[in-house]
Chains A and B, each alone.
Chain A
Amino acid sequence: MNGQYASLLIALPLLGAFFVPLIKGFGEKAIKTYVLIITAIQTGIAAWVFREVYSTGKPIIVIAGGWKPPVGINLYLGHFAALFVLIVALASFLMAVFNFKAIEVEPIDKYAMLFLLLMLGATGMISTGDIFNLFVFMEITAITAYALTAYNKTGEAAEASLKYIILGGIGSSFFLIGVALIYGATGTLNMAQIAQLAGHIDPTVAQVGLALIIFGLAVEAELFPLNAWAPDAYQAAPHPVTAMFSAFVVKAGLYAMARVLYLTSAVESWHNVLRLLVVMATMTVVVAELSALRQRNVKRMIAYSSISQVGLIALAFALGTQAGVDAGVFQMVNHAIIKALLFLGVGYAAIQLGGAEIENFRGLGRRMPVTAFGITVGSMAAVGIPLFNIFWSKLRIILATIEVGYTWAAFLVLGASVVEAVYYFRLIHAIWFEGDGERISESVPLMAIVIALVILVIAIGIYPNYVWSVSQKAGSDIFNVANYIKNVPLMGVGA
C-alpha cells in the first residue's frame, strides 16, 4: 500500500472530531461508541504503519500536497514515530472504553471532540517534520488539554486549568522565540534542513535558542520548574484524561524535546544545553518523589510518581549517548503501560468508592480484587522491582548515566527510588491489610483491559528482549541524525 495513506493518522481524528455534532442527536451512548470506533480505526492504521516501518526498516515520509520539503511540510514516520503513534492510538482506544464508565458530566459531545483532538495533537507532535508545525500541534494538544482539565466544571478543575494555561502560555511564547532565533540563523523551519545547517549556526544564538525551546517544551514535558500545573491537572481532570496525559501527552513533549535537541547536535555549544537538561531532569525526579511522599490523594500521588519517571526519561535523553536514548525510549514505552494501568485502576476505584483519598482505598483488596491486583502490580512495577518491566529500563538508564560520568545524578535518582518504594508500599498496605467492606461487582471490559496490561507488564519484565530491540531501533532513529537528513527528500534550496 502507498505510504501516503499514513496521513490518515492526522486526517481521521480531525474529521472524526468534526462529525461529532452529527452523532449528538443519538444520545450519549452513541457518542461514546463513535469515539471508540474512531480510536479503533486509528489503532488499525497505526498498527499498519508500525508493521510497514519495522518490516521495511525505512521511514514513511508523507509529503503534503506534493510540495517537497523544505517548501512543503512533511510528516516523518520513522521507527520512533511509528512506535509512539501506535502507543498513542492504543492508549486512546483503551481510555475510550473507560469513557463508558467514567464520564457522566454533560456535554459529552464536546468531551468527545476534545478527546479526539487531544489524540490528534499528540500524534501530530510525534510525526511532524517541521518545527513550526510542531508548535501548531503542541498548541492543539495544549488547548484541548486545558479544556479537558476544566471539563468537570468544579472550582478545582478551573483552578488547575488556569495554572496550566498560564504556564503553557509562557512556555509557548518561549518556544516561539526559540523558533524565531533558529529561523533567523538558518532560514528554514524544516527539521532535516535545520539539522543540515546546524553546524553553521553561531554557538551563542544556538545555545539561547535551544535553551528557550527546551524551556518551552518543558511545560508539556513536565520538567521542574515548569511542572507546577501537572499534579493539579492530573487530580482535577476526568480519569481517562489523566491516564492520557500521563501515557502520551507528556511523551509527545519529551519526544519533541529530544528530537530538536539531537537534530542540533552539530552545534558547538550543544553540551552546555545538555548539562542544563541533566540538572532540570534530576531536580524533577528528586522534587517530585519528595512531594509524592506527603500526598493523601492517591491520584495526586501517582501524578507525582509519573512526573518523577518522566524526569528519569529526560535524564536519559540528556546524556547525549546512544545507550541513554535507547534506555529513555524503553522507559517511555514501559511508563506508558504502567501509568495507563495505574490511572485506569485508581480512576475506576475512585468512581466506585466515591473518592481518591487514601482512606477510600482501605480494604480495596476485598471489595474489588481485580482492580486492586492491577494497582498492586502497577505500583510494584513503578518502584522498579525485578521481573517487572520498569526494572530493566531504570537499570539501563542508571548504567548509561554512570557511563557518561554523571555519578551524582545516578545517586540522586537511586535515592529517589527508595522514597518511591515507601509511598507505593503504603498504598499497597492500605489496599490489602487495612479495612474491610462488601464486595463490589467490577465491570468486565475494564477488568479485561487491566488483566491485559498486567500480562504485558509481566511479559516485558520476564522477556524484555523484543521491546528492547524495538526501543533500540526507535532510539537510533532519534540519535542518528545523519540518517534522518538522508531520509527526507530535500529539494536543493538554500542548502
Chain B
Amino acid sequence: MIHISAFYFGSIALVLIGLYAVLVKKNILKMLIGLSIMETGVNLLLVSIGYISGRSAPILSEGITPDKAVDPIPQALVLTAIVIGVATTAMALSAVIVLYRRYGTLNVEEIRRLRG
C-alpha cells in the first residue's frame, strides 16, 4: 500500500520538473513539453486530493456503492483540465509552425523581433 503523501510528492515533483523545463530550455518545443508535464502534475495532484485509500473508481456499478468510491468531483475537474490542456497545446503548436516558417529557428534567443 502506497501512502497518500507519495502521490503529493510525485505530482509536485512533476510540476517542478515541468517548470524547470519551461524556464531553462532554449527550444520552444521543449518549453511546450515542459508545460505539458506541468499540467500532468497538476492533474495528478487534483486526483490524489480526491483519493481515499482503498476505494474504487467513482463509477456506480455492481458492488460499488457511493461509500466505496473515491470523491468524483476532482476526477470531473481533471477531465475538463485535460481537454483544456489539449486545446492549449494544439494552439501553441500551430503558433510554433507559423513561427518556424517566419524565423527559420525555434531558439528563443534568436526570436527577438519584439523588443523594449
Contacts and interface: CB of A to CB of B under 8 A. Distances in A.
A368 B113 CA distance: 30
Given A166-B35, A170-B38, A173-B42, A158 B99 contact: yes
A165 B88 contact: yes
A170 B35 contact: yes
A242 B98 CA distance: 21
Interface in A213-249: 231-232, 235-236
Interface of B is mostly: helix
Interface stretch (A34-42, A149-157, A324-332, A478-486): A149-157
A183 B114 contact: no
A85 to B, nearest CB: 23
Interface residues of A, number: 41
Interface string A184-206: 10000100000000000000000
Nearest to A133: B80
Given A139-B88, A300-B116, A170 B42 contact: no
Contact of B95 (A165, A169, A176, A189): A165
Given A173-B15, A176-B46, A236-B114, A165 B92 contact: yes
Contacts of B111: 159
Contacts of A150: 94-95, 98
B contact residues, range? 35 or more
A400 to B, nearest CB: 33
Contacts of A154: 102
Interface string B70-110: 00011001001100100110011011101100110000000
A165 B84 contact: no
B96 A162 contact: yes
16 contacts: A139-B84, A146-B91, A146-B92, A154-B102, A162-B92, A162-B99, A169-B38, A169-B88, A173-B18, A176-B46, A179-B77, A180-B45, A180-B49, A184-B49, A232-B114, A291-B116
Sorted nearest first, the 4 A-B pairs with minimum C-beta distance are A155-B102, A158-B98, A158-B99, A169-B35
